[in-house]
Amino acid sequence: MQDYQAYVGLEQKSVNNRMEQHLEELERDGYFILEGVFKEPALEVMRQKLDAVWELQLAEYGEELLEQIGDYGQLRCMMEYDPFFFELINHPTIWPYVAATVGDTAILHLQNGIVLFSDRPHNQARYHKDFAKNFTSSKILSFNAFIAVDNFTEITGGTWVLPGSHRFSEMPSPAYFEKHGVQIKTPAGSVIFFDSMIWHKGGVNTSGKRRRAINQIYTRPFIKQQIDYPAMYKGKIDMETKLAQTLGLWTIPPKNLGEYRVDHPSKRTYRGGQG
């Protein structure tokens, strides 16, 4: 137990449970890690499914184009190829953190798979922000749940973060990046949660094996999605489900005045109370 000096008028943050502890880390550092969310053999299933989707997307789009657009090793719309990936969106351990940060009406901005090949450059291996804006926000607008499907180590290329960088609109100096970047080393099955405004990058994989991950980004529902999931899934999944809401099917702008002027607000394609 630490002992702290007390100062008149200087309050200490009150933290009463594990989630509040994590949320304090998120606020101060921009990220926190939850270990053991996924376990073997489920992780092995995930690896096989990611590899299978990667092979399909590689065959469909070709190495040349994927390299050219910086998408080599990047899997998108995995649920189109295997419905298993729908199950991760509202995962019971992940969702409470999404609800506590961006809110229970959050929508999925993207779900991507990342295969970091050994000794091959990856487009995500340069520092970037996933929600790259030149402002900060008093509330979290966009939040990542980043699943480590393989062990994240120095050798496999664990993700690097720049703690606290989500709180500044200005990009840090090269010297600051160099001195303060922290590489995350965490076992397969962990989820790294982070504010999408934090500067981060993939590591360099020299392990001789693939390092796989799944990135799920959730935003407040008025923010556009990376790909139009409502157009993809309208009429294909039950509208009255949490999954439909999270895919953005409850927050579609009316397409015309007729769709807006319905005889009851509950019939709007952008439902009431979504934020």
* Smallest separation, CB 27 to ligand AKG (Å): 21
- The dihedral through the CA atoms of 244, 275, 97, 219 has a sign that is positive
How far, in whole angstroms, is CA 211 from its chain's centroid? 17
* Smallest separation, CB 74 to ligand AKG (Å): 8
Q: Which is nearer to ligand AKG, 185 or 234 (CB)?
A: 185
* Smallest separation, CB 147 to ligand AKG (Å): 11
Q: Which is nearer to ligand AKG, 148 or 249 (CB)?
A: 148
Nearest to 160 by CA among 185, 188, 137: 185
Q: Which is nearer to ligand AKG, 194 or 250 (CB)?
A: 194
* Smallest separation, CB 65 to ligand AKG (Å): 19
* Smallest separation, CB 192 to ligand AKG (Å): 9
* Smallest separation, CB 180 to ligand AKG (Å): 17
| Contacting positions for ligand AKG (CB under 6 A) | 114, 116, 124, 130, 159, 200-202, 213, 215
The residue nearest ligand AKG at its CB is: 202
Q: For residue 15, give Cα distances in angstroms to 10, 18, 30, 104, 192.
A: 16, 8, 17, 22, 20
Q: What are phi and psi of 187, to 5 degrees?
A: -70, 155
Can you give the three-state secondary structure of 128-170, one letter per residue?
Answer: ECCCCCCCCCCCCCEEEEEEECCCECCCCCCCEECCCHHHCCC
Contact 158, 152 (CB under 8 A): yes
Q: Which is nearer to ligand AKG, 105 or 207 (CB)?
A: 207
Q: Which is nearer to ligand AKG, 202 or 221 (CB)?
A: 202
Q: Which is nearer to ligand AKG, 107 or 147 (CB)?
A: 147
